[in-house]
């Protein structure tokens, strides 16, 4: 499908309770974690980007190099990731035929993976059969980002708490198309996670 018909929803309203500070602003290779995700979304050429912010919205607003992204706020981030899913979807315009959900704490999300999801999205009747496209990483890990056709946005209404779409998709495997991709897409939940990513980046530069 045309990436311009895809709207990206970047989920960035988490409390960072395990990190100890606003983890989305923690630096990796000279940029905040969230900046990495936004830069990749821009490079993917999607039609619009909506960023859902939470209690740290003011700090994030000041620290990020914004482009055309629209920012919306989750008034109750304690309701969990599922509430941000719904807020983000509600903010997408009519020009989006599908939503690409990106997590703000996954700075290594890759352009090639996003392109693989968009390129694999079925069309016509097939889209109604398998309206959700997710990556299956060779090195394991969660199926993020996820591309969800507008016809399946109702799945967000079934999500609850802080688990997002994962549990819902496990209940509806018949709706999901998996795309095999290399590598992995790790989360940053703790300072140790960030240190591991930084170490991996240094090893790549030295190799």
DSSP symbols for 83-146: HHHHHHHHHS-TT-SEEEEEETT-TT--HHHHHHHHHH---THHHHHS-EEEEEETT-----SE
Q: What letter would DSSP give residue 152? A: G
The CATH number assigned to the domain holding 32 equals 3.90.550.10
Question: Whole-model pTM above 0.85?
Answer: yes
pLDDT tens digit string along 44-76? 999 999 999 999 999 999 999 999 999 999 999
Strands 146-149 and 132-137 turn out to be: antiparallel
**107 with 37: CB under 8 angstroms?**
yes
Cα 9–Cα 161–Cα 134 angle in degrees, nearest 5: 45
Give bridge partners of residue 73 from the DSSP assignment. 53
pLDDT tens digit string along 110-148? 999 999 999 987 554 445 678 999 999 999 888 999 999
pLDDT, the chain, mean: 89
Q: What is the pLDDT of residue 88?
A: 97
What's the domain count of the chain? 1
Q: Which domain holds residue 120?
A: 3-206
């Amino acid at each position: 499908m045309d990436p311009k018909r895809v709207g990206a929803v970047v989920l960035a309203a988490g409390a960072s309770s395990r990190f100890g500070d606003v983890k989305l602003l923690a630096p990796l290779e000279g940029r905040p974690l969230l900046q990495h995700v936004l830069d990749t979304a821009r490079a993917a050429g999607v039609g619009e980007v909506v960023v859902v912010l939470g209690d740290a919205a003011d700090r994030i607003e000041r620290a990020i190099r914004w482009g055309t992204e629209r920012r919306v706020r989750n008034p109750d981030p304690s309701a969990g990731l599922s509430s941000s899913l719904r807020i983000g979807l509600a903010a997408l315009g009519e020009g989006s035929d599908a939503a690409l959900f990106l997590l703000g704490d996954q700075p290594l999300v890759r352009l090639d993976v996003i392109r693989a999801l968009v390129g694999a999205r079925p069309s016509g009747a097939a889209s109604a059969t398998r309206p959700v496209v997710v990556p299956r990483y060779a090195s394991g890990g969660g199926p993020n980002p996820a591309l969800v056709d507008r016809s399946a946005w109702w799945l967000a209404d079934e999500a609850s708490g802080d688990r997002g779409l994962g549990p819902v998709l496990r209940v509806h495997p018949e709706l999901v198309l998996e795309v095999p991709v290399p590598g992995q897409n790790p989360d940053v939940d703790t300072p140790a996670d960030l240190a591991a990513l930084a170490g991996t980046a240094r090893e790549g530069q030295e190799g």
